[in-house]
Chain A
């Protein structure tokens, strides 16, 4: 990873902690942290620091009736049953890390996957966002993806297998960032299918809320 990419990863963690990421990037980060203990730790540190800052805060009185409102709320909920855990038994989750696994159709269901070129297929995830694009790409072992450039910056998380390009080698859990306009030609490792989750925010960086990471990606 280049210094830039370290910076971008830090910024992604800060933005994730503050809820400043788009839904696709948020899912990307949650998946990344499930795979990468160091990043999970960095996020945990932010929550722990938050705990310290919270404890040190000078209390500001809640407005009148606030406690009664909370009390009424919890009494009303007393009768509700707890929502069931979101465990589902999709075979996928054994192969791919949560939470992204929940967004991906069965790997062995060819109809869901759009073939882009030899050895390369795509499934586009609809997160309901209007800007940008989030896709799962599957690259067969050893296949070189045709050289391409990116309009807007793209953040890529490796879910399985690995790939290399001029900037380095990327394995499961690694994040690669392609800056706006950068041209690259990734080649999948020989030893298995490479599956990546790529989020391209397109032009959102010019119009959306400016978080830590968009500031870096917009450079």
Chain B
């Protein structure tokens, strides 16, 4: 991505010895490995050090995926682009509140994008619930092991997803669709809208039972 290179040139907070530089040179998007810190680590660094290079890497990885994901949900292309941008700005602003023990970077960023998307749908700019979101709110007296369990949940969700029959796995994505997309599925498949929706609920239920099985 050329814009990332441009950014490198105008970078004001350069950290020459940062491990990040190993990842900055190639310009290609890649999954973090031994040489590049994980997304969780980068996000934490944005929060604690206002590290713009870490943010640039997060942007490079997540903005095009947010855009893609929103497009798949039925969002118009211009809106998808804007929500992706707004979400990334919010990632920068809220990074301080990110706790890697509670959520992986992709879950956290997805949640931010969800809020942005909802704000957009409503245009009422309600005060950001962000992490008063019950899903991630943490009581001061919440024991550390519960916090840890939240993070472990994510791996289990991943395994539970893999155990879904393909048809249901496809339905899971539809659970996030915009209404017009549900109507399109109904039209294409010739099924009543209500049936499409109950299949989506069934798929989510199946996922939840898979999850319970894994946790047992």
Contact A43-B135, Cβ < 8 Å, known A14-B200, A49-B207, A51-B154 = yes
> In residues 66-124 of chain B, which contact A (Cβ within 8 Å)?
66-69, 71-72, 81, 84-85, 88-89, 92-93, 96, 103-104, 106-111, 113-114, 117-118, 121-122, 124
- Interface residues as binary, B157-169 with A (CB distance below 8 Å gives 1, 0 otherwise): 1100100000000
Contact of A62 among B81, B108, B126, B150 (CB under 8 A): B81
Chain A residues with CB under 8 A of B193: 210, 215
Interface residues contributed by chain A, number (CB under 8 Å): 55
Cα of A66 to Cα of B67 in the assembled complex, Å: 12
Q: Is the interface of B mostly helix, strand, loop or mixed?
A: helix
The reply on B143 being an interface residue by CB < 8 A is no
User: Interface segment, A53-61, A118-126, A138-146, A158-166?
Assistant: A53-61
Chain B residues with CB under 8 A of A42: 208
B69 touches A53 (CB 8 A): yes
A18 touches B64 (CB 8 A): no
- Interface residues as binary, A74-99 with B (CB distance below 8 Å gives 1, 0 otherwise): 10010000100010000000000011
Contact of B197 among A51, A86, A212 (CB under 8 A): A212
How far apart are B75's CB and chain A's nearest CB, in angstroms?
12
How far apart are A52's CB and chain B's nearest CB, in angstroms?
6
Contact of A19 among B118, B158, B211 (CB under 8 A): B118
The reply on B184 being an interface residue by CB < 8 A is no
Chain A-chain B contacts (Cβ-Cβ < 8 Å), number: 176
Minimal Cβ-Cβ distance residue in B for A55: B106
B111 touches A30 (CB 8 A): no
The reply on B190 being an interface residue by CB < 8 A is no
Contact A14-B204, Cβ < 8 Å, known A59-B64, A60-B64 = yes
Chain A residues with CB under 8 A of B110: 47, 50-51, 53-54
Contact A211-B175, Cβ < 8 Å, known A17-B114, A47-B135 = no
Cα of A109 to Cα of B6 in the assembled complex, Å: 61
> In residues 203-217 of chain A, which contact B (Cβ within 8 Å)?
209-212, 215
Chain B residues with CB under 8 A of A43: 134-135
Contact A48-B134, Cβ < 8 Å, known A61-B64, A215-B194 = no
B111 touches A20 (CB 8 A): no
Chain B residues with CB under 8 A of A191: none
The reply on A68 being an interface residue by CB < 8 A is yes
The reply on A190 being an interface residue by CB < 8 A is no
The 4 A-B pairs with the shortest beta carbon distances in the complex, nearest first, are A19-B118, A51-B107, A59-B64, A67-B3
Contact sample, A vs B, 26 pairs, CB 8 Å cutoff: A14-B204, A19-B122, A34-B134, A42-B208, A43-B134, A46-B175, A51-B106, A51-B110, A52-B157, A54-B106, A57-B68, A57-B69, A61-B64, A66-B63, A66-B85, A67-B7, A68-B3, A73-B85, A74-B92, A82-B93, A82-B96, A86-B132, A210-B179, A211-B179, A212-B200, A215-B197
B: residues with CB less than 8 A from A are 1, 3-4, 6-7, 29, 55-56, 59, 62-69, 71-72, 81, 84-85, 88-89, 92-93, 96, 103-104, 106-111, 113-114, 117-118, 121-122, 124, 126-127, 129, 132-137, 150, 153-154, 157-158, 161, 172-173, 175-176, 178-179, 193-194, 197, 200-201, 204-205, 207-208, 211
